[in-house]
Structures are given as structure tokens and as C-alpha cells.
């Protein structure tokens, strides 16, 4: 329900082309981090702990477009840091939309209202707002009061202006299942967002609060409880049903780290969006010189408590290709995302 038909068709065509070319590894979503600077310091974030000179480094629009062309993935997720701090974020987005990339602009929405007049609604652009819970929990997780209210206001305005808006929710150990259900009902019914993304928090060693993370069995139990609800059917998730089954421990999957390659101000990050072991100078170097089989659940201790969509959604999409019947069923329940409200 949460993925627009146009995007689903383009991605399906891209996947078939890769398959026909016999490519074993190919990217699905480029994770583009044009800066690490952020205007929040969330409890569970391990992305922004860099020295000042790195925090002051931004990728130029040209570098962003070059990375996108080099990678070739049909979807680009702009993350960071807070992308809306970048002074040329509108130019970056415009260039990506011109390239017909499906852009997910991830933001905490603090600066969103300021940028809305400068961005342009497009079927290729989705604004993805970080929402970790209802007001009390969200403000606690982002360690700043008033952020929830500001994000809600910005989402309403973006929807009014005709933008496609998604939300991105990270589940931590304070995310009580009933609170998550309340959040999804609110986002789905009251705000009418076009799609919702959920993912368990990754236990970044550098995150300010190490107590917020769930271990894998706890994640499975939490997602089982959240998703085992009659309301689940109406929620418009921007995920494949296979990934949601995986989160509930009902489907065995291994990580596809190369599915979401990451280009940051430091280069092409190895091996994945969440772990920064080293950096490659080019996308080809990243794909060809990384020992991919060394990473994943069971293979690397750092992957033990990772069930994040940046590693596993690509696996889910890949398994739809391998099992066309399952793929068709999944497509039927995922595609459709016209404006919801």
C-alpha cells in the first residue's frame, strides 16, 4: 500500500534488467549523506560523532549527482546528519528528480516548513520524517522538547502543499507496542501520511545512550506484538510484507549489505550504512573489493542485533525475484500509494 505504482514498476524493471545481465550484486537504494551535521543529538544515533572539520564538510550538489550516476540505483535516500541543514539541499533534490531517481528526503522536520516553498512536489520526491513515538516518547528520544509538535505541523503543511510524505520510525526498548500502535494509527489516520517505515534501532557503539537498544530476540518479540494487531491491515507501510515477516521472526533472511551502498562526505562507506570500517574511493571499488561474505548475521558480531531495513529490505526484494509467486503476492499488498488523504 505504501509504495507508488510508478516506483514499483521502475524498480521491478531495474531488478529484471540486473537479473538478465546476470549481476550477482547490485544496489537498490543509494544512501546519500551529504553532511554529518545535525540539529539534534538523538539518544540512539551513532552517525554524528565526528570532529568539527568533518561536521563542517558538505558534499556539493555535483558530488551528490556524480555519486548517484556512479551508483545507478533507482532510489536515493538522502540522510545524514540533517539534510535540511545543507544550504543547497533544494538544488541537490532537483538534480536527482531530473535524473528520475525516487528520492527519499529524510528529515527530523525542524527546518521542513522553511524549505517547503523551495522544494517542489513531484512523484519522484518523498519527504520522510523521523517519528519515533507520540509526543512524550519522540521528544525524549530526540532529546529535545517540542520536536514532535513541530514535525506534526510540518507534515500537515507538506501534505497540504501536495508533497508525498512518509514517516520513519525507529523502535527502541522504550517503544512500548501499544505506544507504537497509537503512533501508527495517528500517522496513518490523523496525519494521513502516504507510507510508514519501521526499523529496530542499530546498537551504534557511539550512540549517547547505550541502554535504548533491543537485542535480537527482544526485537522479534516487540515487532510480533506491534504487528499482531487487527489495525495492522490498514497501516500503509512502505515495506515489503516479507520484510515485515522477517521483523516478526517468521522469515529467515541474511543481510544484503551492498543493496544500500552509502556515499558520505568521507567516501563510499564500507561495509554498510550502519558500520564504517573503511571508505572506498569509488563505487566500483566498494562493490568489487569488499569481502561481502564476511558481514551479516552470524558472520560478524557487530551484526548480531541488526535487523535494519537498510540491510534486509534488499534481501526481501531479492527473494521476491527468486520466488515470483511470493513476489506477486507481496506486490499486490505493497503497491498502490496514491495520496492517502
Tell me the closest approach of the beta carbon of residue 326 to another protein, in angstroms: 12
Q: Looking only at residues 58 through 97 of this chain, which bind another protein when binding is defined by CB under 8 A?
A: none
293 lies in the site for another protein, by CB under 8 A: yes
Nearer to another protein, 150 or 251 (CB): 251
216 lies in the site for another protein, by CB under 8 A: yes
Strand ranges (DSSP E) for 98-201?
102-107, 125-130, 164-171, 195-200
Using a 10 angstrom Cβ sphere, with 0-12 exposed, 13-18 middle and 19 or more buried, the burial of residue 156 is: middle
Q: Of the ranges 61-69, 73-81, 191-199, 292-300, which one interacts with another protein (CB under 8 A)? A: 292-300
298 lies in the site for another protein, by CB under 8 A: yes
Task: Judge if the upstream peptide bond of residue 81 is cis by omega within 30 degrees of 0.
Answer: yes
325 lies in the site for another protein, by CB under 8 A: no
Which of 206, 234, 250, 341 forms a contact with another protein (CB under 8 A)? 250
Tell me the closest approach of the beta carbon of residue 180 to another protein, in angstroms: 21
Residue from 313, 325, 338 nearest 241 by CA: 313
Q: Of the ranges 67-75, 142-150, 263-271, 296-304, which one interacts with another protein (CB under 8 A)? A: 296-304
Nearer to another protein, 120 or 216 (CB): 216
Dihedral sign for Cα atoms in the order 337, 3, 42, 177: positive
Residue with grid cell 556512479, as numbered in its chain: 70
Which of 157, 224, 297, 335 forms a contact with another protein (CB under 8 A)? 297
150 lies in the site for another protein, by CB under 8 A: no
296 lies in the site for another protein, by CB under 8 A: yes
Strand ranges (DSSP E) for the chain?
29-32, 75-78, 102-107, 125-130, 164-171, 195-200, 262-264, 267-271, 276-280
278 lies in the site for another protein, by CB under 8 A: no
23 lies in the site for another protein, by CB under 8 A: no
252 lies in the site for another protein, by CB under 8 A: yes
Q: Of the ranges 33-41, 69-77, 227-235, 252-260, which one interacts with another protein (CB under 8 A)? A: 252-260
Q: Of the ranges 12-20, 78-86, 192-200, 250-258, which one interacts with another protein (CB under 8 A)? A: 250-258
Q: Which grid coordinates belong to 194?
A: 502516504
Phi, psi of 274 (to 5 degrees): -95, -25
Whole-angstrom distance, CA of residue 151 vs CA of residue 22: 44
Q: 268: which strand partners?
A: 263, 280
Spatial contact of 59 and 265, defined as CB atoms under 8 Å apart: yes
Q: Of the ranges 99-107, 169-177, 184-192, 246-254, which one interacts with another protein (CB under 8 A)? A: 246-254
Long-range CB contacts (< 8 A, 24+ apart) of 320-325? 320/240, 320/242, 321/15, 321/16, 321/19
Provide the binding-site residues for another protein, judged by CB under 8 A.
216-217, 220, 249-254, 291, 293-294, 296-299, 304
Amino acid at each position: 500500500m505504501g509504495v507508488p505504482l510508478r516506483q514499483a514498476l521502475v524498480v521491478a524493471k531495474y531488478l529484471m534488467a540486473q537479473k538478465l545481465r546476470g549481476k550477482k550484486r547490485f544496489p537498490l537504494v543509494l544512501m546519500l549523506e551529504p553532511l554529518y551535521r545535525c540539529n539534534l543529538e538523538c539518544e540512539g544515533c551513532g552517525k554524528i560523532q565526528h570532529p568539527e572539520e568533518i561536521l563542517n564538510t558538505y558534499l556539493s550538489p555535483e558530488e551528490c549527482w556524480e555519486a548517484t550516476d556512479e551508483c545507478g540505483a533507482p532510489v536515493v535516500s538522502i540522510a545524514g546528519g540533517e539534510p535540511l541543514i545543507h544550504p543547497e539541499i533544494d538544488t541537490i533534490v532537483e538534480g536527482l528528480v531530473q535524473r528520475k531517481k525516487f528520492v527519499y528526503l529524510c528529515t527530523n522536520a525542524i527546518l521542513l516548513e522553511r524549505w517547503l516553498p523551495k522544494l517542489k512536489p513531484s512523484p519522484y520526491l518523498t519527504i520522510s520524517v523521523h517519528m519515533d513515538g507520540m509526543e512524550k516518547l519522540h521528544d525524549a528520544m530526540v532529546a529535545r522538547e517540542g520536536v514532535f509538535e513541530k514535525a506534526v505541523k510540518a507534515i500537515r503543511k507538506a501534505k497540504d502543499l501536495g508533497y508525498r510524505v512518509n514517516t520513519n520510525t525507529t523502535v527502541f526498548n522504550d517503544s512500548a507496542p501499544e505506544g507504537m500502535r497509537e503512533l501508527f494509527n495517528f500517522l496513518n489516520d490523523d496525519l494521513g501520511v502516504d507510507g510508514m517505515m519501521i526499523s529496530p534501532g542499530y546498537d551504534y557503539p557511539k550512540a549517547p545512550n547505550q541502554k535504548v537498544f533491543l537485542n535480537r530476540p527482544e526485537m522479534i518479540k516487540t515487532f510480533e506484538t506491534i504487528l499482531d494487531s487487527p489495525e495492522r491491515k490498514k497501516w500503509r507501510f512502505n515495506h515489503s510484507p516479507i520484510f515485515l515477516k522477517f521483523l516478526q521472526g517468521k522469515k529467515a533472511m541474511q543481510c544484503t549489505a551492498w543493496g544500500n551502498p552509502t556515499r558520505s562526505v568521507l567516501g563510499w562507506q564500507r561495509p554498510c550504512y550502519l558500520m564504517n570500517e573503511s571508505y572506498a574511493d569509488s563505487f566500483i571499488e566498494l562493490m568489487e573489493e569488499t569481502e561481502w561474505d564476511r558481514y551479516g548475521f552470524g558472520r560478524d558480531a557487530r551484526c548480531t542485533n541488526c535487523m535494519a531495513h537498510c540491510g534486509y529490505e534488499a534481501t526481501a526484494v531479492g527473494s521476491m525475484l527468486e520466488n515470483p509467486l511470493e513476489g506477486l503476492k507481496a506486490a499486490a499488498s505493497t503497491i498502490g500509494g496514491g495520496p492517502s488523504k
